[in-house]
């Protein structure tokens, strides 16, 4: 019996085309709640830039790909940091030949060292507010929970080799989320489920990107959106329709949850 459902945001719950949650998905979430099913968000976004849920309330939030997990909107139950040594190594890379835009995500804010055409494309695609631009050495002043590096696949192995305490969770060719090793949406899910006393076999997860794969594999039922890439679909238990074709509702009806 499914007692909890986790939703990725971008490309899963929210359309890349409209930047909105389809009406059908809103209604489906309301129906889940009315049946006593817990509903959660699992996203790579920072809490402060979750700006596209149209006022919907969830029982908890896995943010920053599992690095910060909340029950309700305010109760922080788990956090995991980027090692300070890796921040220093990143600054050394930036001072050398590997110079790229990078967002530094902290507890209460985020900033970027500079922007370029790739950041512009992604910010527009995600309807994501451009973070303030600051000197990169600001990253040494407070704890950093996640990095968002705007470098491409051919650079990834070389860059990540210098960040020994981190791993890349890429879902777009223009950038990758960088999280602490051992941090993922599945870890965040486990913390949330433990809090509520729900087993992994009693949960379902919806996702579309590479950073959703650990979540889809961990859940009792992992559902890939129809707009997900083949590698994501291959790791799921079920492939539904795309977000713009009412994929959330299609899957929930398929499994008899609504």
- Active-site residue numbers? 8
> What is the CB-side half-sphere exposure of residue 218 using CA atoms within 13 A?
24
Angle, helices 247-254 vs 23-34, to 10°: value is 40
Which tokens is 44 given? 């790579």
How is residue 223 annotated by DSSP? E
* DSSP 8-state code for residue 52: -
Q: Say how far apart CA 191 and CA 211 lie, in whole Å.
A: 17
Q: Which tokens sit at 149? A: 């590096």
Residue 113, helix vs strand vs coil: coil
Kind of pairing, strands 60-63 and 166-172?
Answer: unpaired
| Under 8 Å between Cβ of 114 and 101 | yes
Q: Cα dist. 251→124, 210, 222 in Å?
A: 29, 20, 10
Q: State the DSSP code for 129.
A: P
**Residue 209 CB contacts under 8 Å (≥ 6 apart), including other chains:** 8, 10, 11, 171, 172, 228, 229, 232
Measured distance CA(161)–CA(164) in Å, rounded = 6
Backbone angles phi and psi of 4, in degrees to 5 = -150, 140
Q: Which structure tokens are listed for 74?
A: 């305010």
């Amino acid at each position: 019996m499914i007692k909890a459902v986790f939703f990725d945001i971008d490309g899963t719950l929210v359309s890349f085309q409209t930047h909105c949650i389809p009406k059908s998905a809103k209604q489906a979430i309301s129906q889940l709640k009315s049946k006593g099913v817990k509903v959660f968000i699992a996203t790579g976004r920072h809490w402060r830039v979750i700006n596209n849920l149209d006022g919907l309330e969830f029982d908890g939030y896995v943010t920053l790909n599992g690095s910060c997990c909340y029950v309700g909107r305010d109760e922080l139950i788990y956090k995991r940091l980027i090692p300070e040594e890796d921040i220093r190594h990143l600054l050394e890379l930036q001072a050398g030949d590997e110079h790229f835009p990078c967002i530094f995500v902290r507890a209460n804010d985020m900033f970027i060292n500079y922007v370029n055409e790739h950041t512009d494309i992604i910010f527009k695609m995600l309807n994501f507010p451009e973070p303030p631009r600051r000197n990169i050495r600001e990253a040494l002043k407070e704890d950093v929970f996640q990095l968002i590096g705007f470098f491409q696949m051919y650079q990834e192995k070389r860059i990540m080799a210098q960040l020994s305490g981190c791993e890349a969770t890429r879902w777009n060719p223009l950038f990758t989320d960088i999280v602490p090793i051992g941090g993922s949406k599945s870890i965040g899910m486990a913390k949330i489920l433990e809090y509520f006393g729900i087993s992994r076999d009693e949960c379902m997860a919806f996702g579309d990107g590479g950073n959703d794969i650990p979540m889809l594999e961990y859940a009792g039922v992992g559902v890939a959106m129809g707009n997900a890439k083949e590698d994501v679909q291959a790791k799921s238990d079920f492939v539904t329709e795309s977000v713009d074709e009412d994929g959330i509702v299609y899957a929930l009806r398929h499994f008899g949850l609504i």
